[in-house]
Amino acid sequence: MDGSPARYTRLLVFLGLLPLLLMDMFLGLPDGVFPIGGAVIMTAAALVHFYGGERRAGVGWILFGAALLFVSSVEIAASLLYLVVFAMLLLSGLVLLASQRAELGDEA
């Protein structure tokens, strides 16, 4: 792989989620298509990181996908516990991605 896996995954996630989001907004995709499709895209991003030797960043993308699936499967505003779980999944994913970048000295 030429370059940092982050270079590929950012583009992959952007080009994967943008059309999915636009189709959901304007065409009204069936329930569950956006979160499942988003989780698949984020899993693909994780695989790119795993292939590039960046395990923490890969797990970070998996946690983002899990947060997306979690939000789609429960009524997030129904319970403070649901909100805390969602926040922890997102925060954990961010921390893992940031720690991978810090270790590699990548400021991008």
**Residue carrying the six token digits 């996908």:** 65
- 3-class secondary structure, 107: coil
58-94 residue pLDDT tens: 999 999 999 999 988 888 777 888 888 988 999 998 8
Distance CA 13, CA 34 (A): 13
**pLDDT for the residue 106:** 52
What pTM was estimated for this model as a whole? 0.81
